[in-house]
Structure 1
Amino acid sequence: MAWIPVSVSLGFVGLAVLAYCSFRVYMGVRRFGRELERTRRRLAPKQSALRDELDDLNGTRGPQAPGDGVRSS
């Protein structure tokens, strides 16, 4: 009859280990989310400048005629 309390206590210990691991994963995901947000804020001005420059480059080129493309054969 001693196996019942042992199995119950082992079940609780197993749940405690799973809870600890879940908490660590949760904290890691939160830290990763903050890191992504910080990186996004740092890159936003550069991305905006690059997008503006790309728009300027696309605006200065004239449209190509349909027959002026690169031929594959």
Structure 2
Amino acid sequence: MAWVAVSVSLGFVGLAVLAWCAFKVWLGVRRFGRELERTRRRLEHEHSALRDEVSRMERTRAPQPPEDGVRST
């Protein structure tokens, strides 16, 4: 009968270890989400400036005649 108590106790200990690991993963994911949001806010200005530059370049580009595409030999 003692082996039943030991196995149940080990089962609870295993669940406690899994819960602790899940909590650590949850904290890491939350921290990673904050870091991503902070980086996104920091790069937002550069992203809009790059988008404006690309649209300006597209407006000033001379139209090219249609061709057959890329040919390989």
Q: Same fold (TM over 0.5)?
A: yes
Task: Give the aligned residue type for 1:47.
Answer: H
Root mean square deviation, CA, Å: 1.6
Runs of 4+ displaced beyond 3 Å: 67-73
1:28-51 deviations in Å (ceiling 9; x for gaps)? 000000000000000000000000
Q: What is the aligned length?
A: 73
Q: Which residue does the alignment assign to 1:51? A: 51
Deviation at 1:67, TM superposition (A): 3.5
Q: Which runs of 5+ in 1 are unaligned?
A: none
Structure 2 vs 1, CA of residues 66 and 5 (structure 1 numbering), >3 Å: closer, same or farther? Answer: same
- In the aligned structure 2, how far is the partner of 1:7 from the partner of 1:70? 69
What amino acid sits opposite 1:13 in the alignment? V
2:15 is matched with which residue? 15
Among all aligned residue pairs of Structure 1 and Structure 2, give the percentage whose two residues are the same amino acid: 71
